[in-house]
Structure 1
Amino acid sequence: MELRASSSSAMILTTRFLALFLSLGFQVVHAATTAQTKAFTCANGQTVSNSVCCALFPIIDDLQENLFDGGECGEEVHESLRLTFHDAIGFSNALHFTGGADGSIVTFADVELGFHANIGIDEIVDTQLPFIAAHNATLSTGDFIQFAGAVGVSNCPGAPRLNFLLGRPEAKEASPDFLVPEPFNTTDMILSRFADAGFDSDEIVALLVSHSIAAADHVDPTIPGTPFDSTPEIMDSQFFIEVQLRGTLFPGTAGNQGEVESDVEGEMRLQSDSELARDPRTACEWQSLMTDHTKLQQVFKAAMLKLSILGHNENDLVDCSDVIPIPPPLPSNAGPHLPPNTTLKDIQAACAATPFPHLTALPGPSTSISPVPPS
């Protein structure tokens, strides 16, 4: 009996100890979780997960009012987004060059703006320089380029809320030439260049979501501001649909090298886009974005995050994504469609694994797409 009583007492003590241990463990886990999600209230009343991010709100106000024309998804947004790529893609495992998203395209503008692939980038660099100088106490040059891109994209209906990480050091040297892909590069060349920077074929397609709010000024200088799809003011899937229309490749001559004739008047096709849409390595991923806007947003956001921290250790940066404005949703009348007076017979489907989605054309006569006006 004594033995049984002793065993029972031991069991009770053990049970109580285990309960106390689990209770304390829960408190520790709860405290850690609370610490991770602790919010700081900034002077403007906004809450952020890290207090250093508070300094970014006045910069957003400056950019929206003075760079992005009061919050428009216009030319300066397009060019700022383009600049994020041209700066960050200066990264090469093969060359052991790990500059990446470091602002070298501005810091060493005398070198990098002379690269053929960077023709026209000088315009947005000149526009951003006063802002970079005004805010360099908070943002390095590399930080500013990625921050301006994320804030600008937030003005575009249908876009995802992009991430922004703070703390990139200043660039130490210029990027080597030939790291920025060009419209006349073959698909093999483009896939190889991106693989060297750590991107697979699906991620290349994801980054090209940027072309849904893009326009060309220098591919053919005779027609500046020519958009790549019929809805350059919103981030939707029309770019992926309309590039799949049949077109005629121009000869590679000066002035239109890398350009493909479009079946939609007023639009421009890039040779690289046209070929990526039809290459078996990228065609199915390309087609998958046509009717899945949620996926389009998700893959673009993920690819842009990866691009924006090229050359950096993510753990060395501060996540200030919660300061980026939330973009407007797609307009209620937006949706994947064929251009007026076209049918599925005008589509050159290229994905062998799945049928091309059943799309109908917008009603009404064909109209020419207007150029994107300069700021």
Structure 2
Amino acid sequence: MVFSSALSAFVLALPLLAVNAARTKRSLCPDGKNTAVNKACCALFPVVDDIVDNLFTNECGDSAHGALRLVFHDAIGISPTAGGGGADGSIATFNATELTFPANLGIDDILDDLGPFLLKHAATVSPGDFIQLAGAVSLVQCPGAPRIPFFSGRAQPKAASPPNLVPQPTDDVTSILERFASVGFSPAEVVAVVGGSHSVAGADDIVPNFQGIPFDQTPSQFDTQIFVDVLLHGTNFTDNGGPQSGESETAVAGTVRLQSDGLLARDPRTACTWQSFVNEQSKMAEAFGAAVLKLSFLGQNQHELTDCSEVIPQAIPVNFGPATFPPTKSIKDIDESCNTAKFPDLRTQPGPATTIAPIPQAESTSGSSS
């Protein structure tokens, strides 16, 4: 891995960005174009511009998907019994340890992409802040995604996360819900954060020799299609020859269904919440945004952080239609798992069944940020 121990030694020695949460009047930033309630936030505008243009390249692509995944894998590394720092950036600083955890398979790719940017801006943002900032900025590259708040001021991480704190796609629903419950998340919040993040995501390394296999038909749109596709009967499978560990057969060729997603969509404790998001774009975006913000405060004291949400670019409005059944599919192909509500009426896409293309993989961006 390109991005490794060099970061660990460097970032641990850097001071935090000073903040002053008491300021209320907007101030003109040194760049002469931006204003901020707190002058400390001014330093973040160039960081945001850099990662938008040179890391995400203004696209809801592989790097944006990876940055969102990193938010979760870093933040969930905390437990009331095992310890850990939560959303503190330990997954970057102590990557030599945390990347050995099975649940972090594939995280090295996004760390390689983010690493040069984190190093470049390390005097401005701590690792924990950078991961949360990049995650918030990644979302607004995707049409339909919410613009979530960003708070600055996380301390440097002190140690690696304990192992076995990140849920895996092979886990059963009880294990997943208990892991989330230990850090204060309800089953409904679990569905929101898992389903929402997988709306703009794909599988790397789960399927051997295949990268960027989408979880639904629309991986570049933050939409509710994921909540339909995961409930379809498993009649087709990806072109790799069938399901692997943590993966189940899907009804949409070219996509892959995580076993954990399929179970959450059908379990009595979560099925009705899962179905309730179908074609409820605003509800899904709001619930997801609240859950991600809650993740960002794990291990942190919100009152000691500074609200720098104004540095996050505006979200891209919804520019797509409602969720649909894929060609040849209908309500007869849905595993109706909620006993208290009727599944929404959806139209079926015209034409023969097609294969969803893999998500294009990001090229190395280290040269653009060094």
Query: Relative to total residues, which structure has the larger helix share, 1 or 2?
Result: 1
Segments of 5+ residues of structure 1 without an aligned counterpart are 1-34
CA distance in 2, matches of 1:279, 1:48: 46
Q: TM (normalized to structure 1)?
A: 0.86
Is 1:297 matched up with 2:285? yes
User: What amino acid maps onto 1:107 in structure 2?
Assistant: T
CA distance in 1, matches of 2:224, 2:154: 32
**In terms of Rg, which structure is larger?**
1
- Is the CA contact (8 Å cut-off) linking 1:158 and 1:327 kept in structure 2? yes
Query: Corresponding residue for 1:362?
Result: 349
Identity %: 51
CA distance in 1, matches of 2:267, 2:244: 22
Query: Corresponding residue for 1:32?
Result: none
Query: Corresponding residue for 1:54?
Result: 42
Query: Corresponding residue for 1:147?
Result: 133
Is 1:120 matched up with 2:106? yes
User: What amino acid maps onto 1:291 in structure 2?
Assistant: N
1:248 positional shift: 6.4
> Alignment partner for residue 107 of structure 1, among 79, 93, 103?
93
1:221 positional shift: 2.0
- Is the CA contact (8 Å cut-off) linking 1:248 and 1:260 kept in structure 2? no
Is 1:168 matched up with 2:154? yes
Query: Corresponding residue for 1:181?
Result: 167
User: What amino acid maps onto 1:345 in structure 2?
Assistant: K
Is 1:320 matched up with 2:308? yes
CA distance in 1, matches of 2:28, 2:289: 26
Segments of 5+ residues of structure 2 without an aligned counterpart are 1-21, 363-370
Task: Please provide the CA RMSD for this pair.
Answer: 1.7
Distance 1:248 1:346, change over 3 A: closer
1:49 positional shift: 2.2
Query: Corresponding residue for 1:89?
Result: 76
1:153 positional shift: 1.1
1:55 positional shift: 0.8
Query: Corresponding residue for 1:220?
Result: 207
1:327 positional shift: 1.7
- Is the CA contact (8 Å cut-off) linking 1:81 and 1:210 kept in structure 2? yes
Is 1:41 matched up with 2:28? yes
1:37 positional shift: 5.5
- Is the CA contact (8 Å cut-off) linking 2:78 and 2:85 kept in structure 1? yes
CA offsets 1:193-219 (integer angstroms, 9 cap, x no match): 111122110110110201000000111
- Is the CA contact (8 Å cut-off) linking 1:249 and 1:260 kept in structure 2? no
Is the partner of 2:43 in helix, strand or coil?
helix
> Alignment partner for residue 79 of structure 1, among 66, 79, 83?
66
- Is the CA contact (8 Å cut-off) linking 1:219 and 1:256 kept in structure 2? yes
CA distance in 2, matches of 1:351, 1:49: 46
- Is the CA contact (8 Å cut-off) linking 2:23 and 2:38 kept in structure 1? no
- Is the CA contact (8 Å cut-off) linking 2:236 and 2:250 kept in structure 1? no
Query: Corresponding residue for 1:244?
Result: 231
Aligned residues: 335
Q: TM (normalized to structure 2)?
A: 0.87
Is 1:67 matched up with 2:24? no
- Is the CA contact (8 Å cut-off) linking 1:101 and 1:308 kept in structure 2? yes
CA distance in 2, matches of 1:38, 1:242: 47
